[in-house]
């Protein structure tokens, strides 16, 4: 058995995205202790940079030392107790995972269903809250990675507040790719991931809790069912000041990587990052449509960083993705759940959102689809994409 040397890939699936070279370099810096005074200073900087990325002043903002699924569980385990009623808006895979978390907490999940590939319907949420006056929490996915749909987080949070409900929001694919404003929108608990539009390595989950959420956690009648994810305990390690109580051994080098990725985002600026993702989405869309392909999500509900593309009739999903990987080193994603076998998920996240990747993706798709005999328009995709870039 030899050392593992991974092949060079272009990652344009639903995540992870390509990692910035600066982030990879940061990973290789000398490891220091997780209670070293210099590392404590880095923790403070990471918190400040996360507050910028999430547009929040929440004091309880930090990266959980585990992937986005652990961030999800941290939010639910800390805010949901047995007997609670939680309204969950589901329009894809990850709303279903929210339901599982609620039920494992011994609470009741009240489901508000929308079609996969569509945004959450605000009126459905309002009706559910009217029908369930004992509900205390509302949960939804801002950017649904399984479908490429964006829901109106500001409006959904406003409706929740009308009924005195707190909100838990999944923003795993949101941060750095589209507008996000925790404080302005009134989000109470938020979780994300590092491997999407931040172009960092997988394995960390930024979370943030409002003052109201912290008060709910501190007023719990029962202990949080997860010791590792108990925010009361984590606060002793990630709290204010230089004195930190040992909770767990933080993944030190991964924190170096997150710090570097957040620095890159701040250097670019949030609005410029959002515009960059939007530009490359428009170019990709133009090329796909010129080829004769279509996107699943309506324009006004569409994520620029995650494009759900209908698979042309008669084209085999798995063999096409395999050919893209083997012939071009290009990874795109398969559909999940109700969209399995029906769509490809093409990501334009973080540093993967660039002109070279758009051109590669369109060229590679045209080549593989043409070779398989698919009915597509040849030679039009690159011209259409270039027209967007040169406009």
Q: Are residues 202 and 300 in the same domain?
A: no
DSSP 297: S
Tell me the pLDDT band of 240, cut-offs 50, 70 and 90: confident
Res. 241: pLDDT tops 80: no
Q: Are residues 295 and 330 in the same domain?
A: yes
SS3 for 47?
helix
User: What is the mean pLDDT of the segment spanning 7-18?
Assistant: 97
Domain assignment present for residue 8? The answer is no
Q: Are residues 229 and 282 in the same domain?
A: no
Domain assignment present for residue 368? The answer is yes
d(CA 132, CA 140): 17
- CATH of residue 382's domain is 3.90.1150.10
- CATH of residue 46's domain is 3.40.640.10
Tell me the pLDDT band of 367, cut-offs 50, 70 and 90: very high
Q: What is the dihedral of CA 93, 94, 100, 102, to 10 degrees?
A: -140
Domain assignment present for residue 344? The answer is yes
User: Which residue among 267, 289, 318 closes a domain?
Assistant: 267
Domain assignment present for residue 289? The answer is yes
Contact of 148 with 302, CB cutoff 8 Å: yes
Q: Which domain holds residue 304?
A: 270-389
**H helices then E strands: how many in the chain?**
14, 14
Average pLDDT over all residues of the chain:
96
Domain assignment present for residue 47? The answer is yes
- 296-348 per-position pLDDT tens digit: 999 999 999 999 999 999 999 999 999 999 999 999 999 999 999 999 999 99
Q: Are residues 308 and 160 in the same domain?
A: no
From residue 221, how far is each of 81, 111, 216, 224, 225 by CA, in Å?
A: 8, 25, 10, 9, 12
Q: How many domains does the chain have?
A: 2
From residue 156, how far is each of 24, 151, 152 by CA, in Å?
A: 37, 8, 6
Domain assignment present for residue 328? The answer is yes
Contact of 165 with 29, CB cutoff 8 Å: no
Whose CA is closest to 26, among 193, 194, 180?
194
Res. 242: pLDDT tops 70: no
Q: Are residues 242 and 275 in the same domain?
A: no
Q: Are residues 256 and 309 in the same domain?
A: no
| CB atoms near residue 4 (< 10 Å) | 5
pTM: 0.96
Percent of the chain residues topping a pLDDT of 70: 99
User: Which residue among 238, 267, 296 closes a domain?
Assistant: 267
Q: Are residues 293 and 247 in the same domain?
A: no
Q: Are residues 234 and 290 in the same domain?
A: no
Q: Are residues 46 and 151 in the same domain?
A: yes
Domain assignment present for residue 4? The answer is no
d(CA 338, CA 93): 9
User: Which residue among 267, 298, 315 closes a domain?
Assistant: 267
User: What is the mean pLDDT of the segment spanning 228-243?
Assistant: 86
* Bond prior to 28 in cis (omega within 30° of 0): no
Least confident of 130-134, 239-243, 359-363: 239-243
Residue 47's pLDDT is 97
Q: Are residues 150 and 249 in the same domain?
A: yes
Domain assignment present for residue 288? The answer is yes
Q: Are residues 277 and 246 in the same domain?
A: no
Q: Are residues 232 and 301 in the same domain?
A: no
Residue 391's pLDDT is 81
């Amino acid at each position: 058995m030899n050392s593992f040397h991974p092949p060079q890939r272009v990652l344009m699936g639903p995540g992870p995205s390509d990692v910035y070279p600066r982030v990879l370099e940061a990973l290789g810096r000398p490891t220091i202790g997780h209670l070293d005074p210099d590392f404590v200073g880095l923790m403070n900087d990471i918190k400040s940079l996360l507050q910028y990325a999430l547009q929040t002043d929440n004091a309880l903002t930090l990266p959980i030392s585990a992937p986005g699924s652990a961030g999800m569980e941290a939010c639910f385990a800390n805010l949901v107790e047995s007997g609670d009623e939680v309204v969950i808006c589901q329009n894809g895979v990850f709303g279903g995972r929210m339901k599982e978390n609620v039920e494992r907490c011994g609470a009741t999940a009240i489901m508000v269903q929308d079609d996969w590939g569509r945004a959450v319907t605000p009126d459905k949420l309002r009706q559910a809250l009217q029908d369930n006056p004992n509900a205390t929490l509302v949960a939804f996915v801002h950017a649904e990675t399984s479908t490429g749909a964006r829901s109106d987080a500001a409006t959904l949070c406003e409706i929740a507040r009308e009924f005195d409900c707190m909100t838990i929001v999944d923003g795993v694919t949101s941060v750095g790719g589209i507008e996000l404003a925790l404080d302005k929108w009134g989000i109470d608990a938020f979780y994300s991931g590092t491997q999407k539009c931040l172009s960092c390595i997988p394995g960390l989950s930024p979370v943030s809790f409002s003052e109201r959420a912290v008060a709910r956690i501190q007023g719990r009648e029962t202990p949080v069912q997860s010791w590792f994810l108990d925010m009361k305990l984590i606060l002793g390690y990630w709290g204010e000041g230089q004195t930190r109580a040992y909770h767990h051994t933080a993944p030190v080098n991964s924190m170096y990587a997150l710090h570097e990725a957040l620095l890159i985002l701040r250097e670019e600026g949030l609005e410029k990052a959002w515009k960059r993702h939007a530009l490359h989405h428009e170019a990709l869309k133009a090329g796909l449509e010129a080829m004769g392909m279509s996107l699943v999500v309506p324009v006004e509900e569409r994520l620029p960083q995650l494009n759900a593309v209908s698979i042309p009739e008669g084209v085999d999903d798995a063999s096409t993705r395999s050919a893209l990987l083997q012939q071009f080193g290009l990874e795109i994603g398969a559909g999940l759940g109700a969209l399995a076998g029906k769509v490809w998920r093409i990501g334009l996240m973080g540093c993967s959102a660039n002109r070279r990747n758009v051109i590669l993706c369109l060229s590679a798709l045209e080549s593989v689809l043409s070779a398989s005999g698919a009915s597509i328009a040849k030679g039009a995709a690159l011209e259409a994409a270039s027209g967007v870039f040169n406009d």
